[in-house]
Amino acid sequence: MQAYDEIYRDGITACRGAFPVEWADRMREDMEAALEEALARPGGAVGRGPNRYYVEIHPEQLRGFVDLASHPWVTAVCEAVLGPRYQIVELGFDVPGPGAVDQPWHRDFPMPPVTRDTGRLNSLAFNLTGVDTTEAMGPFEIAPGTQFDDDPAFEHGMFPPKDHYPRYLERAVRKYPRRGDISARSALTIHRGTANVSDTSRPVLVLGVDAPGAGNDERHAMAVTRDYHAALPAVVRDHLACAVVDTLVPIEQKHTIEGLVMGDA
**Closest to 87 in 3D by CA, of 73, 69, 114, 102:** 69
Task: Give the pairing type, strands 223-225 and 243-245.
Answer: parallel
Query: Is residue 261 pLDDT above 70, yes or no?
Result: no
As a whole-number percent, the residues of the chain with pLDDT over 70 amount to: 95
The pTM of the full predicted model, rounded to 2 decimals, is 0.95
Q: pLDDT at position 218, please? A: 81
Query: Is residue 265 pLDDT above 80, yes or no?
Result: no
Kindly indicate the confidence band of residue 264, based on its pLDDT and cuts at 50, 70 and 90.
very low
Task: For the chain, give every domain's residue range.
Answer: 2-256
Task: Name every residue whose Cβ is closer than 8 Å to that of residue 154 and which is 6 or more positions away in sequence.
Answer: 110, 160, 161
Kindly report, residue by residue over 69-117, the tens digit of the pLDDT: 999 999 999 999 999 999 999 999 999 999 999 999 999 999 999 999 9
Kindly indicate the confidence band of residue 257, based on its pLDDT and cuts at 50, 70 and 90.
low
Measure the CA–CA gap between 192 and 107, rounded to whole angstroms. 8
Pairwise pLDDT comparison (265 vs 32), residue with the higher score: 32
Q: Give me the mean pLDDT over the 162-184 stretch.
A: 97
- Return the CATH architecture of domain 2-256: Sandwich (2.60)
Measure the CA–CA gap between 234 and 164, rounded to whole angstroms. 45
